[in-house]
C-alpha cells in the first residue's frame, strides 16, 4: 500500500475519510482470508489519514493485529500474526496445508540463518546469496526442491520482486558487483519481518533446536 503527500481535509474530505476506514478494514480482512498478507491498493493520499484508526479498530474489535512498515515506496500494511515460529494448537495445524508448513519452515530457517550470521555491533545485516545456498544445501534443500505441487525454491527465494518471500516482504535483496565485476546478491530481513518478528523469538527457537 503506497501513500504520498500531505492532505488538508474540509468537511467533505472528513466524510470521505470516515467512509474509507470501514472500506480499508474490509479490504484487509478480505486479503487476510485469502492469505494475501500484504495489503496494496492504488496510490490514494486520503488512505494515509485513516491507517492508524483502521489498525486500532481491527485490533480492538476483530483481534487482528496489523502493523505498518515504511519503505522507499511508501507504507505497506502487514498482518502481524501472519507467521508463527510454532503452531501450537490442532486448529492452527489444520489451517495450514502441508505446502504452507514446508514454506513456513523454509522461511523461518532462512530468517534464523540471516539473524544468526549477523555479528553483534555490525551495521551490515545482509548475507550473501552463496552463503544461503550453502546453508540450504546442507539442509538438503536444492534449487529443484518442490514444495507441494505449486512452488519450487526459485519461486520462493530469488533476486526478483516476484519471488514469494520477497513480494510478501519477509526478505529483501540487494544487487551489487564485486572487485572482479561479477554480480553479487545479498539478502536481509524484509520490512515485514523487521516489523512483526521479535529477534528473541528466533534466538530462542535456535537455542531449542541446538539443545
> Is residue 24 within 8 Å of residue 18, measured between CB atoms?
no
How many residues belong to the chain? Answer: 211
In the structure, what pLDDT confidence band is assigned to residue 45 with cuts at 50, 70 and 90?
low
Rounded distance between C-alpha atoms, residue 147 and residue 211, angstroms: 28
Q: How many CB atoms lie within 10 A of CB 79?
A: 22
User: 194 vs 59, which has greater pLDDT?
Assistant: 194
Q: CA 103, CA 197: separation in Å to the nearest integer?
A: 17
Percent of the chain at pLDDT above 70? 59
CA 107 to chain centre: 10
Q: The C-alpha cell of 100 is what? A: 504452507
Which grid coordinates are listed for 165? 518471500
Gyration radius of the chain's alpha carbons: 19
Q: What angle do CA 183, 185, 191 make, to 5 degrees?
A: 145
94-135 confidence digits (pLDDT tens):
556 777 777 888 888 899 899 888 776 666 789 999 999 999
Q: Which of 156, 165, 110 is nearest to 134 (CA)?
A: 110
| Chain segment 24-43, per-residue pLDDT in tens | 777 667 666 555 555 554 44
Average pLDDT (186-191) is 91
Residue identified by cell 546453508 is 135
Amino acid at each position: 500500500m503506497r501513500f504520498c503527500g500531505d492532505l488538508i481535509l474540509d468537511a467533505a474530505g472528513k466524510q470521505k475519510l470516515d467512509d474509507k476506514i470501514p472500506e480499508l478494514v474490509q479490504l484487509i480482512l478480505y486479503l487476510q482470508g485469502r492469505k494475501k498478507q500484504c495489503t496494496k491498493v492504488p496510490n490514494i493520499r486520503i488512505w494515509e489519514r485513516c491507517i492508524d484508526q483502521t489498525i486500532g479498530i481491527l485490533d480492538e474489535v476483530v483481534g487482528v493485529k496489523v502493523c505498518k512498515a515504511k519503505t522507499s515506496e511508501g507504507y505497506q500494511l502487514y498482518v502481524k500474526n501472519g507467521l508463527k515460529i510454532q503452531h501450537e494448537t490442532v486448529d492452527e495445524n489444520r489451517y495450514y496445508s502441508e505446502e504452507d508448513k514446508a514454506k513456513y519452515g523454509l522461511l523461518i530457517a532462512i530468517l534464523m540463518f540471516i539473524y544468526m550470521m549477523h555479528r553483534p555491533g555490525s551495521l551490515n545485516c545482509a548475507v550473501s546469496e552463496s552463503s544461503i545456498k550453502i546453508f540450504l544445501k546442507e539442509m538438503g534443500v536444492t534449487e529443484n526442491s518442490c514444495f507441494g505441487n505449486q512452488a519450487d525454491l526459485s519461486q520462493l527465494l530469488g533476486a526478483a520482486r516476484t519471488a514469494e518471500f520477497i513480494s510478501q516482504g519477509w526478505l529483501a535483496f540487494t544487487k551489487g558487483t564485486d572487485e572482479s565485476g561479477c554480480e553479487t546478491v545479498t539478502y536481509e530481513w524484509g520490512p515485514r519481518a523487521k516489523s512483526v518478528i521479535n529477534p528473541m523469538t528466533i534466538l530462542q527457537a535456535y537455542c531449542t533446536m541446538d539443545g
